[in-house]
Structure 1
Amino acid sequence: MGRGDLSDAEWERLQPFLPVSNGRCGRWRDHRQAIDGILHRVRTGVQWRDLPDRCGPWKMIYERHRLWSADGTWERLLRQAQAAADAAGEIDWDIAVDPTIVRAHQHAAGARTDLPPASRQRGRHGRTPGRNAVAELARPPGGGGAGGEGLSRSRGGFTGKLDLSADGRCRPLSLVVTGGQRADCTQFEAVLEKIRVPRLGPGRPRRKPNSLAADKAYSNGRCREYLRRRGIRHTIPEKTDSQAARLRKGRRGGRPPSFDEDRYKERNTVERTINMLKQSRALATRCDKRGYVFLGTATAAALVIWLRT
């Protein structure tokens, strides 16, 4: 067992939710070996071809990661880990939202647009999309730049952005990949809509937090209206120019938005979550060309946090 590999307890939690074998040439052989290889790459950031021999063939491991990023297997595993924590009452639903910039390596640029024909590959829930179908179906919306792969060009080169929400115990609840030039507030609704923690028993998945804390980047009418419509208590500081405009209007400017200073101090949980995620070097510097593959890498890193904290 290598450093960072799954323990027996962690493997037992994941095994029931993994795709089953399709009986073709042992394609789904030894999921545990493949997951250990994927986690090794996520943790160290090495090239796929440089994976240790104990992980198995690098191409098999990469294809497993690509397919699981496309068909939602990584997201399904993350939600099951969240569901187990929620059933045990271990999720603090006082959440925080914030993005982080991810510098893209030069290997992340140059994603092909003329992809080869779809390869016929089956998974647990039927046929998995091939390369060209995956690129269209799994491409993050509003990625911007580089063909919509969640990259944008700046003076420093290609950059991307990872928007996320975190619970009060510094664990990611939802992840969204966009281009680095996208404003934080444009992905606010997408991040909150992606929160979906299933119930282990009967009942609908939980999607509404108890409260939310965010910085001034989310201080606009659209974000506040969305939170009021969903009945989510929130603490977002008012921008200086918005406050001055409100004061100039006098009575017509309305009352200032409520602000809980003590609750706002707890917003550091999302900053600490970002710090833990970026301990994974494949996430701190993006080398994945495809946006959906990078989102799978981020989801795998988030899954490790849920399993081990």
Structure 2
Amino acid sequence: MTGAGPLEDELANRGNPMLADLVRGRRWADHCRTLEAIAWKYRTSSPWRDLPAELGSFQTAHKRLIRWAVDGTREKILTAVLATADTDDDIDWTVSVDSAVVGAHQHAAGAPQKGAAGRSEPDDHALGRSRGGLSTKIHLAADGHARPLAFTVTVGQAGDAPASERVMARVLVPRTGSGRPRTRPTTVLADRAYSSRAIRDHLRRRHIRAVIPQPSDQIGHRRRRGRRGGRPPGFDADAYKQRNTVERCTNRLKQWRGLATRCDKLAIAYQGALHLAAILIWTRR
């Protein structure tokens, strides 16, 4: 219709009934049409005011985006979709972790210096200055079929390793029946930026197999120490070949132009759009 494609068929069994249960009060505009309006905006990276008339009011779509991001509606829908995929045994628990830098448009600057109270909005709005200028970094965990399981956003100049535990903590797939939610992959693949003793110890405590190569400086330091350097960590070169799944997942997310370049002033709005893109990737599996 307008570039995003109709969402009624894809969300009829997952999104719309769930949204109807979560919203209370006066009659709201159709949720599927509002979701399609938000998807159209981020797929095309158009200004909100250019929203086609058949998709409703741009004020409604923007306010609904913020409201659902604040109250966690998007995360609940994504969790429900993941639970359905897990019931169908359609999640590959060989998980890859990586990050991607997203350049920020000049319209992304200018938000209040401190995040709004009660909105879970960081004071820095996940907007920082790196070599390329203003940017945001997406830290992502993807399953073995290049689909997003969890992510978080930070300032563009943030390191990869410090955010790894935050990303892994967001991996949570509830069971549709009885039992605890699944939070532990079988294997985690990551590049040399994640090669630290803290990350390896964290994965070992959780009984998760780590496939992370060592950078040359760590190898040289261990060899210089001789016996005191200990044994090198195990590394499966064949399993590491699957690490490209997280890069392919990033490419799928960045097919939405509004995610490839950030125009949102608020981090919660940008992350809410990431959740919507992830929901659609999973519902189209």
**TM, length-normalised to structure 2:** 0.95
Is the contact between residue 5 and residue 40 of structure 1 (CA under 8 Å) also seen in structure 2?
no
Aligned counterpart in structure 1 of residue 214 of structure 2, from 225, 231, 238: 238
What is the match of residue 120 of structure 2?
138
Counterpart Cα distance in 2 of 1:194 and 1:182: 18
Following superposition, the deviation at residue 133 of structure 1 comes to 2.8
Q: In structure 1, what residue type is equivalent to 2:120? A: A
Q: In structure 2, what residue type is equivalent to 1:52? A: P
Following superposition, the deviation at residue 12 of structure 1 comes to 2.4
Q: In structure 1, what residue type is equivalent to 2:69? A: S
Counterpart Cα distance in 2 of 1:29 and 1:56: 8
Q: How many residues align?
A: 283
Is 1:277 the equivalent of 2:253?
Answer: yes
> 1:1-309 maps to which residues of 2 (within 5 A)?
1-3=1-3, 4-20=5-21, 21-24=23-26, 26=27, 28-113=28-113, 132-134=116-118, 137-140=119-122, 147-309=123-285
Counterpart Cα distance in 1 of 2:65 and 2:78: 14
Partner SS for 1:159 = strand
Partner SS for 1:191 = helix
Partner SS for 2:117 = helix
Following superposition, the deviation at residue 243 of structure 1 comes to 0.5
- 1:153-172 Cα shifts (integer Å, max 9, x gaps): 13432111000100001100
Is the contact between residue 69 and residue 292 of structure 1 (CA under 8 Å) also seen in structure 2?
yes
Is the contact between residue 175 and residue 191 of structure 1 (CA under 8 Å) also seen in structure 2?
yes
What is the match of residue 118 of structure 1?
none
Counterpart Cα distance in 2 of 1:29 and 1:273: 32
Q: Alignment identity in percent? A: 46
Is the contact between residue 15 and residue 77 of structure 2 (CA under 8 Å) also seen in structure 1?
yes
**TM, length-normalised to structure 1:** 0.88
Q: In structure 2, what residue type is equivalent to 1:109? A: A
Is the contact between residue 5 and residue 39 of structure 1 (CA under 8 Å) also seen in structure 2?
no
Counterpart Cα distance in 2 of 1:196 and 1:223: 19
- 1:172-213 Cα shifts (integer Å, max 9, x gaps): 000100001111001000000000011111111100001111
Following superposition, the deviation at residue 7 of structure 1 comes to 3.9
Counterpart Cα distance in 2 of 1:264 and 1:23: 51
Where does structure 1 differ by over 6 angstroms across 4 or more consecutive aligned residues? none
Q: In structure 1, what residue type is equivalent to 2:94? A: D
Q: In structure 2, what residue type is equivalent to 1:34? A: T
Following superposition, the deviation at residue 11 of structure 1 comes to 2.1
Which stretches in structure 2 are left out of the alignment for 5+ residues? none
